[in-house]
Amino acid sequence: MSVTSIVLVHAHALFREGLRHHLQALPDFRIAGEASNGQQAIQLVDYTDPDLVLMEVDLPGINGLEVSRVLKRSHPHVGIILFSSALDGTLVVKAIRAGVAGYLPRNIEWPILLQTLIEVRRGEYPINELVLSLPEVASQVLAAFRQMVVDEDTQSIYSPLSPRELEVLELVAGGHTNKEIAQRLDISNQTVKNHVSSILRKLAVNDRTQAVVYAMRRGWIKVILPGD
CATH 3.40.50.2300 range(s) for the chain read 4-137
The rounded distance, in Å, linking the Cα atoms of 32 and 133 is 32
3 state DSSP class of 107: coil
Indicate the fold that domain 4-137 takes in CATH: Rossmann fold (3.40.50)
CATH assignment of 149-217, among 3.40.50.20, 3.40.47.10, 1.10.10.10, 3.30.70.100: 1.10.10.10
How sure is the predictor about 156, in pLDDT bands with cuts at 50, 70 and 90?
very low
Written as one letter, the residue type at 97 is: R
Q: Do 49 and 104 form a contact (C-beta atoms < 8 A)?
A: no
User: What share of the chain has pLDDT > 90, as a percent?
Assistant: 35
Q: Which run of H or E residues covers position 7?
A: strand 4-9
Give the model confidence (pLDDT) of 97-147 as tens digits.
Answer: 788 999 998 888 889 999 999 999 988 888 877 766 666 666 666 666 655
β partners of residue 81 = 54, 102
- Residues 50 and 66: their CA atoms lie apart, in Å, by 18
Among the ranges given (157-171, 175-189, 191-205), the one the predictor scored with the smallest mean pLDDT: 157-171
* Location of each CATH 1.10.10.10 domain in the chain: 149-217
Instruction: Show the DSSP H helices in the chain as ranges.
Output: 13-24, 38-48, 64-74, 89-97, 110-121, 126-133, 135-147, 154-157, 163-173, 178-185, 189-203, 208-217
Who's near 16: CB < 8 A, 6+ residues apart? 8, 10, 34, 36
Describe the strand order of the beta sheet including 29-35 as a list of residue ranges. Answer: 29-35, 4-9, 52-56, 79-84, 102-105
